[in-house]
Structure 1
């Protein structure tokens, strides 16, 4: 049978030599700690339309305002969406197309 081997990062401590300046490092390094990611609960996503309270199941549409809607109310005009699409679009255009200014030409 094969044995299970768990490798952990080795941490070197005092006495490390820096070849660039040939000085020793006096501070000890701290070990790396891995954190566990919290698992989302399956029931956290709403399964009903916010407008008509109809069950949406798998085909629920998630809007940019953060709510879930049925096929009838999926469009922003149908459910009185509070998300500002115009400002979001302007910001994306400004980010994608920055203003280009050329250097001024010296006149003789």
Structure 2
């Protein structure tokens, strides 16, 4: 068998691009579009920022950090109530 027939016989896709070879866009600051590479800072809103725009005041972030912190604490510390004892004084 030729290589094309062999791949068809064994169910291997012919000519399909591999996912590992996809080109990745270089990471850029969401505020000024500057290339940041490995020195970028991820914000709670999910965007990457450069050194100048890493703070929430600098890039006008609308992410609620207090609310997120409260949800994390609430999940980590569930409310525990004991059973009521009706016959106890």
* TM bracket, shorter-chain basis: 0.5 to 0.7
* CA deviation after TM superposition for structure 1 residue 82, in Å: 2.4
The gaps in structure 1 that reach 5 residues or longer are: 1-37
Q: Which structure's CA Rg is the greater one?
A: 1
- Give distance in 1, aligned partners of 2:88 and 2:24: 70
| Matching of residues 16-95 of structure 1 within 5 Å | 38-39=19-20, 41-44=22-25, 46-95=26-75
The residue that corresponds to 1:107 in the other structure is 88
Q: Which has the higher strand share?
A: 1
Aligned residues: 71
| 1:31-59 superposed Cα distances (whole Å, 9 cap, x missing partner) | xxxxxxx4373423x53211122221221
Pair 1:89–1:51, CA change in 2 (3 A) = same
Q: TM-score, normalised by structure 1?
A: 0.53
- Give distance in 2, aligned partners of 1:40 and 1:62: 25
The gaps in structure 2 that reach 5 residues or longer are: 1-18
CA RMSD of superposed structures (Å) = 2.4
Q: TM-score, normalised by structure 2?
A: 0.62
- Give distance in 1, aligned partners of 2:20 and 2:60: 32
Larger RCO, structures 1/2 (Cα 8 Å, 6+ apart): 2
